[in-house]
Amino acid sequence: MKRTNTFEVRPRSESDEALLQEVMDATASFWNELTYARRQRFFDDENIWETDEFRGQYKGQLGTVDVQTMTRKNNAAWKSFFALLERGEDASPPGYWGNADDGRDLRLFVRNDSYEIQWGEHSRVEVPVGQNLKDKYDMGYFERLRLEVRGNPKWSGEQGELEIQYDEVEDTYRAYQSVTIDESELDSPLASEEAALDLGVNNLVACATTTGQQYLYDSEDLFEQFRATTEEIARLSSKLPPEQDTSRRIRRLYRKRSRRRSHAQKALIRDFVERLHDEGIATVYIGNLAGVIEPQLSPEINEKLNHFWAVAQFTDQLRSVCEEYGIEVAEKTEAWTSQTCPECGAQDETVRPRETLTCPCGFEGHADLTAAETFLRRNTEQQVRPMARPVRFQWDNHEWRSITDAPGAGTNPSEQRTNP
C-alpha cells in the first residue's frame, strides 16, 4: 500500500542551494526540450519515442539514472495523452515547465535506489548530481548533494521515488517521498465512515461526515489576493504600447497568481484528506461539477469559477491524495442539494442569500454545510450522527488555520472531536 511522506528540505549553504537550483533547472530544461521535440514529431505524424540525442546532453548535469527517470516520466505523460485520444476524449499533448526568463516549475525526481535519507536528530537526504556539476562545485566522485530535512516521517516502509519541488511563493523546497507500507501500520485500519463535499465559490470545501464532523474552508481572503493581482495585471496591460500585448512583468504576475492559488489548494487538500483519514473515512462523495461552472449572473462569481477555482485541477489532486490514504472517491449527482431544506424537504420555497439557507418552515442554516449534509444523507446507508460545531479554516499564506473566534466556528479537531 502506497503512502507519501511530506517534509521540507534545506540546502546547507548558498553553494548547495546554487547547485540544487542548477540541477532542478537542468531537469526543467531536459523536460522542455524533450517535450518540444516530441510535440514537433507528433504534429508531423512521426515517431516520438527516439530520445538518445537528449540523454548524452544532460547526463553531465543530472546523471544517467536521473535522465532515465525523467525520460520515463515524460513517456508516461505521452502515454496518458495517447490513451485519452484512443478513448475519443479531447486532450492536449504534454506541456512545458515554463521558461528561463519568466520562471520555471523547478522539480527534481529521484529514483528510489538513487537517494539516501536518514531520520533522527540531524535528519538529511542525499541526492545524486551529474559529474559535470560535481567538478564545478568541487565534489568528490562518489559525493552527493546533502540537504537538511525538516520534519518527521508519518510513514515507514520501503522507500519509493523522491520528488523535490521549489515553492517560489514561500521560497521553500518541499519533498514528497513515496513509501510502500504494510497494512498493519495504518492508524485507521478499519476505516468505514463516509463523507460528502460541497465545492463552492465562497467556501472552497464544505464537508459533512457520518461521524458528525463538519469542515469549512473559507476562500474569501485567498480570492481577494487573487483579485488584487488580477487588477494589477489589468493596470499594467492598460499602459502597454498598442503593438505590445504583454510584458515580462505581466507574465510573472500571471505565474505568481497561478502558483499562489495552486499552493493554497494543494495545502488544503493535504490538510483535509489527513483529517478525513484520522476520522476513519473510507469513502468521499463528490458531485458532478458540470452544472457548477455554468455562467452565473454575478461577474465576481464568474471570475471565481472561470479563473480562480481551477475545478478540474482541484478534483484531480483530491483523487490523487485520497488514493494515497486509501480513501475511495465516488462521484454522485448533487442536484438540488444546495436548495433542499433538511427539515421539510422543500426545494422551490427555500432562499439562499450568500451563505445562509432559509425555509418558510423555519429552518435556517449555513448553506454550504447544509448542502454537504444533504448530499451525504442522500448517498450513505449509514447512520449519520448529530453534527458537531463546524471547524472553519482560513488561509494565512502558509497553512490553513482553524478559526475559533468566528461565528459558527468550532474548535480544532484535535481539541474537540465527535466520539466515533
- Domain boundary (137, 152, 184) is at 184
Burial of 413 (0-12, 13-18, 19+ CB in 10 A): middle
- Provide the CATH number for the domain around residue 292: 3.30.420.140
Residue 413 lies in a domain: no
Q: What pLDDT shows up at residue 38?
A: 93
Residue 415 lies in a domain: no
Tell me, yes or no, whether 14 and 129 share the same domain. yes
Task: Name the grid cell of 81.
Answer: 495523452
Q: Give the separation between CA 354 and CA 220, rounded to whole angstroms.
A: 12
Over residues 62-66, mean pLDDT: 92
- Domain boundary (184, 212, 247) is at 184
Tell me, yes or no, whether 105 and 201 share the same domain. no
Tell me, yes or no, whether 146 and 204 share the same domain. no
Give the chain's domain count.
2
**H or E stretch at 127:** strand 124-127
Tell me, yes or no, whether 125 and 214 share the same domain. no
Tell the residue number behind the cell numbers 541526492, with chain if given: 127
* pLDDT tens, residue by residue, 300-333: 555 665 567 667 778 888 988 888 788 999 988 8
129 band by pLDDT with thresholds 50, 70 and 90: very high
pTM: 0.68
Over residues 73-102, mean pLDDT: 84
364-402 exposure pattern, b = at least 16 Cβ within 10 A, e = fewer: ebbbbbbbbbbbbbbbbeeebeebbebbbbbbeeeebeb
Q: What pLDDT shows up at residue 418?
A: 33
Tell me, yes or no, whether 198 and 310 share the same domain. yes
Tell me, yes or no, whether 216 and 258 share the same domain. yes
Q: What pLDDT shows up at residue 98?
A: 80
Q: What pLDDT shows up at residue 299?
A: 57
Tell me, yes or no, whether 140 and 238 share the same domain. no
Residue 420 lies in a domain: no
Tell me, yes or no, whether 94 and 15 share the same domain. yes
CB 219 within 8 A of CB 393: no
Highest mean pLDDT among 69-73, 191-195, 261-265, 290-294: 69-73
The residue segments making up the domain with residue 243 are 191-403
Highest mean pLDDT among 91-100, 111-120, 355-364: 111-120
Residue 410 lies in a domain: no
CB 179 within 8 A of CB 160: yes
Residue 163 lies in a domain: yes
Residue 306 lies in a domain: yes
Tell me, yes or no, whether 286 and 303 share the same domain. yes
Over residues 92-120, mean pLDDT: 87
Query: Does the structure show a pLDDT above 60 at 84?
Result: yes
Task: Name the grid cell of 90.
Answer: 479531447
Tell me, yes or no, whether 238 and 93 share the same domain. no
Residue 209 lies in a domain: yes
Tell me, yes or no, whether 118 and 217 share the same domain. no
Residue 419 lies in a domain: no
- Domain boundary (184, 203, 225) is at 184
Q: What pLDDT shows up at residue 337?
A: 84
Tell me, yes or no, whether 126 and 212 share the same domain. no
